[in-house]
Structure 1
Amino acid sequence: MRPVVGARVQRKFLYAFAAVSPHDGVLDSLVLPWVNAETMTLFLATVAERHPEEFIVMVMDQAGWHLAGDLVVPENMRLVYLPPYSPELNPAEHLWDFLRENHFANTVSRDLDAVEETLAQGLREMEADLPRMQKLTGFNWITSISLNAD
């Protein structure tokens, strides 16, 4: 007879926000406990504050929190949305693939704090590796866009 072991499925979450400049590889990221218009607004404000002298064109998918009516977009930023169901056009998808393959593959974490620690360490390493970030996200359709507004 096979023994029966009681188990309780417990789900906990945390969310990584990231934006990268394919032109120079600069990556900005935050790890937050939830995802909604408020946390997306916080992320946009953080990116804008880190690059006050730049006008930022943020390309993103159409996730609900990206489209929320109460989303506050900083003055030095414009949001451009990708067509629905087109993850292959989204440079950020390559960041998540890289993170999964290089920091989470074949690992077991003892708890959510350990996952957060691994995630934060992976993001820090990625932020320090500008050439790799350029290579991962430098899609031709993005890098061929002129950076000079006439």
Structure 2
Amino acid sequence: MGQRPIAEVDHRYEWTYLYGFVHPATGDTEWFILPRVNGEWFNQALQSFAQQVGAGKHKQILLVLDGAGWHTCKNRVVPPGIHLKILPPYSPELQPAERLWRLADEPLANQCFETLDDLEDVLEQRCRTLMTMQSDIKALTILYKPAL
């Protein structure tokens, strides 16, 4: 009486998050495996993405995003050369990157991983594979073909 019992806790789940960026016209992708999905980690993903693609004064990138809370957070820091366009609510069909998730998820389906590191190893290998599949990704993500 008067004391809280001490008990072991099994949180059951650990999480990791895959951030994906795609250039639909070329099929080029950039991937980041990060421990959280929030404004702080999104800022880090944006910064890394900008560095990877060389965004800056001489290379401008229009990045299309859905309205997820971490995409629109108040502490968002947009790197130079990156311009954000937030899509209307409930319009995943307008977001080319949405079509990437089924490809990224393929090696994870019906799998159980002993550790988060095991899961991240499989994700990393899958992302490396997807980065070589530009023609497949282009065909999957391009919304329109510009007139020449």
TM > 0.5: yes
Residue type of the alignment partner of 1:108: C
1:128 is paired with a residue whose SS is: coil
Which stretch shifts more, 88-97 or 64-73?
Answer: 88-97
Report the Cα offset of residue 107 of structure 1.
2.3
Report what 1:65 is aligned to: 70
1:83 is paired with a residue whose SS is: coil
Report the Cα offset of residue 57 of structure 1.
0.5
Please state if 1:103 is matched with 2:111. Answer: no
Distance in 2 between the 1:125 and 1:38 partners? 28
Report what 2:27 is aligned to: 25
1:24 is paired with a residue whose SS is: coil
Report what 1:75 is aligned to: 80
The structure 1 segments of at least 4 consecutive aligned residues displaced by more than 4 Å after TM superposition are: none
Following superposition of structure 1 onto structure 2, how do residues 17-56 of structure 1 map, counting pairs within 5 Å? Answer: 17-52=19-54, 53-56=58-61
Report what 2:124 is aligned to: 120
Report the Cα offset of residue 9 of structure 1.
5.5
Distance in 2 between the 1:75 and 1:145 partners? 30
Distance in 1 between the 2:146 and 2:47 partners? 27
Report the Cα offset of residue 74 of structure 1.
1.2
The Cα RMSD (Å) is 2.0
TM normalised by structure 2 equals 0.84
Report what 2:4 is aligned to: none
TM normalised by structure 1 equals 0.83
Paired-residue identity, %: 33
Report the Cα offset of residue 51 of structure 1.
2.1
Residues 102-129 of structure 1, C-alpha deviations (whole Å, 9 max, x = no match): 2122322222221111111111110121
Distance in 1 between the 2:83 and 2:119 partners? 32
Gaps of 5+ in 1: 1-7
Report the Cα offset of residue 145 of structure 1.
8.9
* Residue 87 to residue 145, structure 1, CA distance change in 2 (3 Å): farther
Paired residues, number: 137
1:116 is paired with a residue whose SS is: helix
Report the Cα offset of residue 28 of structure 1.
0.8
